[in-house]
Amino acid sequence: EPEVTQTPSHQVTQMGQEVILRCVPISNHLYFYWYRQILGQKVEFLVSFYNNEISEKSEIFDDQFSVERPDGSNFTLKIRSTKLEDSAMYFCASSEALGSYGYTFGSGTRLTVV
Amino acid sequence: AQSVTQLDSQVPVFEEAPVELRCNYSSSVSVYLFWYVQYPNQGLQLLLKYLSGSTLVESINGFEAEFNKSQTSFHLRKPSVHISDTAEYFCAVTQSTGGGNKLTFGTGTQLKVEL
């Protein structure tokens, strides 16, 4: 079964450093998303991406965050200058159509900012 | 705006007993509804979804959920749980029309199945 692949599975970074989280969505999917889950809390929407541009973003997704689809397969989330409160599990997801088919999530990247 | 409420943060249950995990949503427009399961140290897996049609939807591992529009609920049930069902379960909603295709999640329910 097709899956969304995320790398790395765990990343530790120093506060203030830039970090890039990588995702390979399912090949025929058109919509891409990033969500995050702070330990013990609910999963929160960060950003959605379609047709090479951001289609929606949450208030969490401030200027420190950016997304990119640098080639036909990868989808990246960059955090420019990490803060302690960015420590969370980050999930990438993709979907074939707008909302209707359910989202396929990756297994996540656990980001720890020290 | 939409929101999801999962009133039960933890549900302990004995193996082979029935279980119901509650989910209520709020939305000003029609929605699609989902249940996701997260096993320890793993990602989110789609368990089942309601898009349209029959209000009762089933998963391959014996879970079912019923969409109740009047009560704005989408409770998840299983008649007989197994130890392997121990996981966190998240209810989620997205708008079915118009813009805004993001998923809004509830806070999750930890199902703990005991022998």
> Please, which residues 20-79 of chain A have a Cβ atom closer than 8 Å to chain B?
31, 33, 35, 41-45, 48, 55-56, 58
Residues B50 and B66: their CA atoms lie apart, in Å, by 8
Phi-psi region of A58 (alpha: psi -120 to 50; beta: other; left: phi over 0): beta
Q: Of B99 and B45, which is predicted with more confidence? A: B45
Contact B30, B21 (CB under 8 A): no
Does position B100 have pLDDT exceeding 60, yes or no? Answer: no
**Confidence tier at B54 by pLDDT (50, 70, 90):** confident
Q: For chain A, what's the residue count?
A: 114
What is the residue-level pLDDT of chain A in tens, covering all 114 positions? 778 999 999 999 999 999 999 999 998 888 899 999 998 888 999 999 998 999 999 999 999 999 999 887 899 999 999 999 999 999 999 988 765 666 889 999 999 999
CA A80 to chain B, closest CA, distance in angstroms equals 24
Tens of pLDDT, residue by residue over B10-42, are 999 999 999 999 999 998 888 889 999 999 878
CA B101 to chain A, closest CA, distance in angstroms equals 5
Q: What share of chain B in percent tops pLDDT 90? A: 67
Strand ranges in chain A using DSSP code E only, listed in sequence order: 5-7, 10-13, 19-24, 31-37, 43-50, 53-57, 65-68, 75-79, 88-95, 104-105, 109-113
Average pLDDT over every residue of B63-69: 94
**Confidence tier at B63 by pLDDT (50, 70, 90):** very high
Residues B83 and B13: their CA atoms lie apart, in Å, by 10
